Amino acid sequence: MKRGLMALAGALAILMTQSAGAQTLRWSAPGDAVSFDPNAQLDSFTQNIQLMVYDTLVRRNRKLEIEPGLATSWQIVEPTRWRFKLRPGVKFHDGEPFTADDVVTTVMRTIDPDSRNKGNLATVVKAEKVDDLTVDIVLSGPYPLLLNDLTGIFVMSKSWLEKNNAMKPGNTSTGVTTFASTHANGTGPFKLESYAPDSKTVMTANEGWWDKPEHNIKRLEFRPIKSDATRVAALLSGEIDMISSLPLQDVPRVSGTQGFKVVEDPSLRLIFLGFNWKPELYADPGKKNPLLDVKVRQALWHAVDLDAIQKRIMRGKSRNTGTMVAPPVPGYVADIDKPLAYDPALSKKLLTEAGYPNGFKTGLTCTNDRYIADEQLCLAIAGMWTKAGIQVDVKTESKATYFPRQDRGELDVWMLGWATLPQMDGFSVLSGIFASRKDGYGGSNAGGMVIPALDDLARKTAVELDEGKRRALMGEAFRIAKDQALFIPLHQQPLAWAMRSNVDMPQFPDEYVRPWFAKVN
Amino acid sequence: MIASIGSRLGQAVLVMLAVTAIAFVMFRYVGDPVAMMSREDASPAEKAELRASLGLDRPAIVQYGDFLGRTLKGDLGISFRNQRPVVDLLAERLPATLELVIVATLLSLSVGIPIGVYCALKPDGALTRAIQTISLVGISMPTFVTGIGLILIFAVTLRWLPSFGRGDVVQIGGWSTGFLTRSGWASLILPSITLALYQLTLIMRLVRAEMIDVLSSDYIRFAKARGLPSRYINFRLALRNALMPVVTVTGLQIGSLIAFAIVTETVFQWPGMGLLFIQAVSFADVPVMAAYLLFVGFLFVVINMIVDLTYTLIDPRLRTRRA
């Protein structure tokens, strides 16, 4: 009898701790998932949301290192053929087992000509089933970053796609929209229960997840709130437990309120200024472009008071940088990460040596709605350059109009933020920004910069399979960029989240929200 | 009557053609959808391919012609941002906006008319002066300031009402309604007050002015001389006549409430068409923007038509003139 009572009490205690530990987390962010079809969009926040439902062959751990996910091991059979062993016993949310067929379907759906994110697997030719739990991925050439790419490829279920007639990816141009754009069936830590765009997305914990959950969340409610003031209000009023992206000006208010905390870290996104490399500047046609002279570029760099910007505009939350990638990214070299010092006298001297003792005229254009405090940043730099004797024609505009102009190379000095995502590797800077526009390289090298050494390094890095050598090649490229002052790196953007004190949501510099590491106490 | 409806419909088509034509000229300055849809490090070739596949490399006039052709067939295209049919997106959002607008309109009428009457009957009262001053503030305060202020007071400080969203909704057929749940009603209060405030002050001032006008007319004076009860005079005789212009203004205001609910919907994350439009603008989502403008143009034309027709029904003088 007594034993029975004890057992009952014990069972009750377990039940109670379970119900106390089984929590709902309500969170908010300014954006929303635009679709649940992994192949119908390229929006990084959307992919973040999808990653809660879908697993990937390899995934990022708490330190953002790559670790086994749905694939348990892999080997390079030939330089162009990688063999992946798949995790046995994994089930999709609808109960169907996960097999090699699903991986083949996922890869083929991603590289489909109508897929919107086919560029994320640009080097993959096909996937082949070897047996039920072995898959080969075939590449067009040797390629070191396949695993990085695979961290962003969400594994879908073949049978589910077939059943719902969604084998072709959704695409605006072909007019295809599928069941998969509003529903999801992955193997991930959470199941999608409902999706009401701009209103509410509900997920529940996947009890049958193959991995041991580190979270204690039963139910995830995502409520997007676009307006910053409303989002903060919703947190403070207790309607929301956690918000990602807290506006900097609200940090003191929220952290000063009892029962809430703010988590802040520098993000991977690095803000820098780039130059026009054409023979003439738009601001001063008919004259030789002064920015082609390394001394002029260094003079501009020496004229920027980064510490003042960090203190005044970024409220002490940003991290000033001297190189083009953030420390966690492969390719980063610590000894070149010191910015050129703020030194107006040296700046003046360099300008005089370059033949511009009285300065020159240039444009400076930035967004006003894309990066944190981008407009203030731009105006502050314009002010500093004006003090250095340079005539600055400063303009800020919306991202929707800025990026097309920037892309067409219509700006003299421009601002860009680069996070190296989704690969999280310095190669994306080499291939997208450093290399000249040729053979698919230089997608964001809008200023028309051509540095043969960098072109060469980008191509070598692209096929170097030895990780040590590869990093050395990238380091060399970043060193050239620094020595030649090809760009002026400014800082890593701060990333601020706010949450109730009882919520423990780890923050990551890639700005992803990973609720499978979260605890609600 | 039929002829007048016919000519109205003809005008409607012209108005909508004009609206969309202007919209297509403006889209070029809103931004480039290709830049928004591409990967951060997309190559120029990738972008060119996408531009061609979306048909954005063609001249604006050809794109406009294509849009008209598809619209006539009932196809409004697929959203660049959500990759879903625009018709579905609009249909999903319409109930939220309409419910908000209906509640805001009822609110502004049920509060605005009595206050207006009171101000007309007691033109020199202290309360009237206070109301007049407050209404001036109300009419000149930007919507987002009102909205944020209400949120800070009623959601953050007092914690009485939700600060955002629609609460729980119930699906009836294709219509999602917030009228059937407690949280749905609670969520409606702050946004509908925010949206109604301007219209409320407008109606109040209109009723007050009309009432004062009517109260000084001869037949009211005769009615008073006859010794009719003041309640009868004020409400049966005066108010009914003063309400005529209110009907017109309310009708027209419903159109602009729907069109200008954008700010209120953004502040309160109200998942209506205004929020959809704002997001389309920031993504340069041409199909959604075009469809929304087409819809708003259509709405204004229809409302104008209904107001005109009701006029002829209510006012016998207009009817005889037409006939």
Reported as a single tens digit per residue, the pLDDT across B82-100 is: 888 899 999 999 999 999 9
| Residues pairing with B176 in the sheet | B171
B43 & B135 share domain: no
Cβ of B12 under 8 Å from any chain A Cβ? Answer: no
Handedness of CA B48, B51, B55, B57 (dihedral sign): negative
Give me the mean pLDDT over the B15-22 stretch: 85
B57 & B99 share domain: no
Q: What is the pTM of this model?
A: 0.86
The two structure tokens encoding residue A92: 């999709």
Please check whether residue B78 lies inside any domain of the structure: no
In the predicted model, is pLDDT for residue A518 greater than 90?
yes
pLDDT tens string B62-86: 888 888 888 888 888 888 888 888 9
> Is the Cβ pair A227, B165 closer than 8 Å?
no
Helices B244-267, B286-314: axis angle to 10 degrees equals 160
Whole-number pLDDT of residue A22: 57
- The residue from B15, B50, B72 where one domain ends is B72
> What is the average pLDDT value for chain A, to the nearest integer?
92
pLDDT tens string A187-209: 999 999 999 888 999 999 999 99
Please check whether residue B323 lies inside any domain of the structure: no
In the predicted model, is pLDDT for residue A3 greater than 60?
no
Whole-number pLDDT of residue A471: 96
The two structure tokens encoding residue A372: 């944190």
State the pLDDT confidence band at A2, using cuts at 50, 70 and 90: very low
Please check whether residue B81 lies inside any domain of the structure: no
Please check whether residue B293 lies inside any domain of the structure: yes
Decide: B54 and B284 in contact? Cβ < 8 Å.
no
Whole-number pLDDT of residue B283: 85
Helices B273-283, B244-267: axis angle to 10 degrees equals 50
Closest-approach residue (CA) in chain A for B29: A401
Decide: A39 and A109 in contact? Cβ < 8 Å.
yes
Q: CA of B69 to nearest chain A CA: how many angstroms apart? A: 16
Radius of gyration of chain B (CA): 24
Please check whether residue B77 lies inside any domain of the structure: no
Interface test with A, best of B47, B54, B83, B270 (most A CBs within 10 A): B83
Please check whether residue B291 lies inside any domain of the structure: yes
Cα–Cα distances in Å, from A334 out to A17, A65, B225?
47, 19, 96
B234 & B314 share domain: yes
In the predicted model, is pLDDT for residue A506 greater than 60?
yes
Whole-number pLDDT of residue B314: 65
Q: Of B60 and A481, which is predicted with more confidence?
A: A481
B94 & B122 share domain: yes
Whole-number pLDDT of residue B316: 62
Please check whether residue B275 lies inside any domain of the structure: yes
By percentage, how much of chain B surpasses pLDDT 70? 96
B182 & B293 share domain: yes
Return the CATH number at B258: 1.10.3720.10
Residues of chain B found within 8 Å of residue A182, distances taken between Cβ atoms: 84
> Is the Cβ pair B268, A398 closer than 8 Å?
no
B300 & B264 share domain: yes
Least confident segment among A33-42, A64-73, A405-414, B34-43: B34-43
Whole-number pLDDT of residue A129: 97
- Supply the DSSP symbol for A510: T
A418: three-class secondary structure by DSSP: strand
Please check whether residue B215 lies inside any domain of the structure: yes
pLDDT tens string B28-50: 777 788 877 887 777 778 888 88
| Residues pairing with A336 in the sheet | none
Out of B83, B164, B278, closest to residue A41 by CB: B83
- Total domain count, chain B: 2
> What is the average pLDDT value for chain B, to the nearest integer?
86
Q: How high is the ipTM of this complex?
A: 0.84
CA distance B166 to B100: 10
CA distance B150 to B70: 43
Decide: B162 and A239 in contact? Cβ < 8 Å.
yes
- The residue from B72, B102, B123 where one domain ends is B72
B234 & B192 share domain: yes
CA distance A109 to A129: 15
Whole-number pLDDT of residue A176: 80
Residues of chain A found within 8 Å of residue B67, distances taken between Cβ atoms: none
pLDDT tens string A415-465: 999 999 888 999 999 999 999 988 888 888 989 999 999 999 999 999 999
B226 & B249 share domain: yes
Cα–Cα distances in Å, from A331 out to A337, A467, A477?
12, 10, 9
Give me the mean pLDDT over the B262-289 stretch: 91
- The residue from B47, B72, B97 where one domain ends is B72
B212 & B274 share domain: yes
The amino acid that residue A310 corresponds to is: Q
Least confident segment among A461-470, B181-190, B224-233: B224-233
Q: Closest Cα partner for B237 from B222, B257, B250, B247?
A: B222
B40 & B142 share domain: no
Decide: A82 and A139 in contact? Cβ < 8 Å.
yes
Whole-number pLDDT of residue B317: 65
The two structure tokens encoding residue B65: 């012609």
Whole-number pLDDT of residue A19: 40
Q: Of A488 and B231, which is predicted with more confidence?
A: A488
Q: Collect all residues with Cβ–Cβ distance below 8 Å to A116 and sequence separation of at least 6.
A: A39, A40, A41, A42, A169, A171, B37, B83
Whole-number pLDDT of residue A18: 39
In the predicted model, is pLDDT for residue B248 greater than 90?
no
B19 & B124 share domain: no
Whole-number pLDDT of residue A481: 97
Which residue range is the domain that position B210 belongs to?
86-318
B295 & B227 share domain: yes
Cβ of B80 under 8 Å from any chain A Cβ? Answer: yes
- The size of chain A, in residues, is 521
Decide: A451 and A486 in contact? Cβ < 8 Å.
yes
